[in-house]
Structure 1
């Protein structure tokens, strides 16, 4: 849960370095600083308004441990599904749907 919060805080504060702090080499190569900037620019204002999260569990998929959260932004009535894929204690993927 701590790593999830760190990733969300990195998006809210627009910190690419913090977002990539626990990323594996493939994840680092797949998301450029510009791509992260576009993501955080659109989500940061809504995250700063506050959010609630609920851990839903984990799945084992093709060698990855994929953790799932339900996240509800204070500024929205809709829920988001957040997925964080882990392998060998490093983030291999992070999605907000």
Structure 2
């Protein structure tokens, strides 16, 4: 009976393994996506500017509205909260792109080495300039 059961279950097990492999392949696919190198560099530069507390570097890639709307006090608030965590190290994982109100919005997951809550970076681009940058 054991042999017969094994012969019946083997195709089912292979089928389940195949479906599991297929599911894994499709579920993992967003991780294969990458932001364009220029966009990735801009995000990394902005995180470095937060860490350094440099308003000039933070707004350098921004459009006129972004540059006018960002103040040193606003950056200092973000710096106090995130600079220590950024300095300890983090890993960024590109999540994808959404289109919103004429902007191309790029999303990354930030996993900090301190083991505390992750954050999502949202960076909105239009006409080659940053129009918004958020750490949620």
The reply to whether TM is greater than 0.5 is yes
Unaligned runs of at least 5 residues, structure 2? 1-39
C-alpha separation in 2, matches of 1:77 and 1:88: 35
Q: Radius of gyration: which is bigger? A: 2
Q: What TM-score, normalized to structure 2?
A: 0.68
Which residue is equivalent to 1:6? 45
Correspondence list, 1:21-60, <5 A: 21-60=60-99
RMSD of Structure 2 on Structure 1 (CA): 1.0
Q: What TM-score, normalized to structure 1?
A: 0.94
Question: Residue 17 and residue 88 in structure 1: after superposition, are their counterparts in 2 closer, same or farther (change >3 A)?
Answer: same
C-alpha separation in 2, matches of 1:77 and 1:19: 24
More strand by share: 1
Which residue is equivalent to 1:73? 112
C-alpha separation in 2, matches of 1:88 and 1:59: 16
- What are the Cα deviations for residues 25-73 of structure 1, in whole angstroms up to 9, with x where unaligned? 1111222111111211221111100001000111111100000000011
More helix by share: 2
**Higher mean Cα deviation, 43-52 or 25-34?**
25-34
Aligned residues: 97
Question: Residue 77 and residue 38 in structure 1: after superposition, are their counterparts in 2 closer, same or farther (change >3 A)?
Answer: closer
Unaligned runs of at least 5 residues, structure 1? none
4+ runs deviating over 3 angstroms: none
| Larger relative contact order (Cα-Cα within 8 Å, sequence gap ≥ 6) | 1
